Amino acid sequence: ILNVEQSPQSLHVQEGDSTNFTCSFPSSNFYALHWYRWETAKSPEALFVMTLNGDEKKKGRISATLNTKEGYSYLYIKGSQPEDSATYLCASSNQAGTALIFGKGTTLSVSS
């Protein structure tokens, strides 16, 4: 099974701060990288699916980049808001037909 690592484990920022966190994954046989947002008492919700080296995707104040050669992805949140407080999960698959393997997540807390 793939080893997907996320850092930091948790993060506390003030409203208006910009922040970023990291997902690292084995680069060999890379297939796809997913980011999910998981709020307390809800189901994980997909943010991005990325497959190509150099991919950059954006949804509102949240964006993500992908480096498949070195095996990492960054998630950026610009101007954090309290409603951004959640656990952010990344998941990777390493070949067509294999499962998505999740990291343990980065828990973000934004204070107003």
Rule CB under 8 A: which residues touch another protein?
Answer: 1, 6, 31-32, 34, 36, 42-46, 49, 51, 87, 89, 91, 93, 96-105
Smallest separation, CB 21 to another protein (Å): 13
Q: Which is nearer to another protein, 19 or 105 (CB)?
A: 105
Smallest separation, CB 37 to another protein (Å): 11
**CA-based nearest residue to 23, from 87, 71, 57, 86:** 71
List, in order, residues 6 or more apart from 85 with CB less than 8 Å away. Answer: 39, 108, 109, 110
